[in-house]
Structure 1
Amino acid sequence: MDLYAYTYVGPEEIRRASASHPAGTPIASRDDAAAWLQAYPDARTEGATYVVDLQGRLRLAPRRSEHVACSGGVEVLAAGEVRFQGAGARLAVAEVSNQSTGYCPDTSCWDAVVLAIRGAGLEPPRAFTPEVVFRRCTRCGEINLVKEGWFVCVFCDADLPAAWNIAPRRMVHVSGNG
């Protein structure tokens, strides 16, 4: 499957501060997810930070972790927040978003999220909950989070492009789950 790789576009000071933190835990099975939730019980109520690495694996970190730390500082196929429900054989992904102001992934990263969640033996929800739209203003260069379909820069009132334009991205081929 061909997917886009996203580079970190957030503040450099966050990248530097995150370099000393461990990368997120790879989740390759339902048992891995259950063990991670056991180790981080606050994630049951708060949710977790996630990335999908370049091998198509889901990686989890505690909710207040930076996505760039969860990734180990490298490109990702997707990033956002995830919430789980249930336990054991009934463990499921209740919600997942692409809300990451560090990577600002396009909504098209959904395919990578589905690949990673299914690769971990879990079933994804039907769509992002919520789906976040990011655009860079072509006038002032600021990154905007588009709300309610209003494609206008909150910094300078310029119209925002319809297509994702945060940073250059490259296509990578992912054959399956690491």
Structure 2
Amino acid sequence: MYRYVGPDELRALSGTGTAISTHAALVSWLDAADEREPDGTIPATFVVGVDGTLRLAPRSSEHVACVEGADVLAAGELFFDGAEVVGATNQSTGYCPEPASWPVVAEALDALGVSHPGEYTAAFTFRRCDACGTLNVVKDGWFVCGVDLPLT
């Protein structure tokens, strides 16, 4: 389970997430979506709540607003081609879910009868710098604080 660790001002945002409990609800949400990637896929911010419910919001939304500040089992982005998930990430700097959160996402999608890639297509590892407290993405297994980078 992941608690929100992002900025307090974002915690106050109103709920933008839609609980998706049926395949028909997913299709309805996708039909109403107005964001598209250049390749035509529909991007979405997602969370899986502690009750296992998938919630979706426009990609421009904050994860914490999608779930109204509650704890989550997974968070990130999904990319849909029709009602099929063709891409998935755990990119959420508000919740910092580990790549190991994928099975929860798969279970929520499977319950809806949604085809998916079987894993995050882009997985991120997040760490907080002990020196300055800044949240960073670990790249290539090498942790370097983005704030403490030398200026050239």
The bucket for the TM-score relative to the shorter chain is 0.7 to 0.9
Deviation at 1:141? 2.1
- State the identity %: 47
Contiguous gaps of at least 5 residues in structure 1 = 158-178
Match of 2:117 among 119, 125, 136: 125
1:7-156 maps to which residues of 2 (within 5 A)? Answer: 7-16=3-12, 18=13, 21-43=14-36, 45-86=41-82, 91-156=83-148
Deviation at 1:26? 1.1
Per the alignment, in what secondary structure is the counterpart of residue 72 of structure 2?
coil
Q: TM-score, normalised by structure 2?
A: 0.88
State the superposition RMSD in angstroms.
Answer: 1.6
Which deviates the most, 129-138 or 61-70? 129-138
Specify the code of the residue in structure 1 equivalent to 2:95.
Y
Specify the code of the residue in structure 2 equivalent to 1:60.
L
> Which portions of structure 1, spanning 4 or more consecutive aligned residues, are displaced by more than 3 angstroms?
43-46
The Cα offsets for residues 24-83 of structure 1, whole Å up to 9 and x where unpaired, read as 111122211110011224256450110001111110011111100001111000111111
The Cα offsets for residues 115-174 of structure 1, whole Å up to 9 and x where unpaired, read as 1111222122121121011011223222111122222222336xxxxxxxxxxxxxxxxx
Q: TM-score, normalised by structure 1?
A: 0.76
Q: Is the 8 A contact 1:51 1:77 kept in 2?
A: yes
Which deviates the most, 147-156 or 107-116? 147-156
Which deviates the most, 143-152 or 76-85? 143-152
Per the alignment, in what secondary structure is the counterpart of residue 47 of structure 1?
strand
Contiguous gaps of at least 5 residues in structure 2 = none
* Distance (whole Å) between structure 2 residues aligned to residue 54 and residue 23 of structure 1: 17
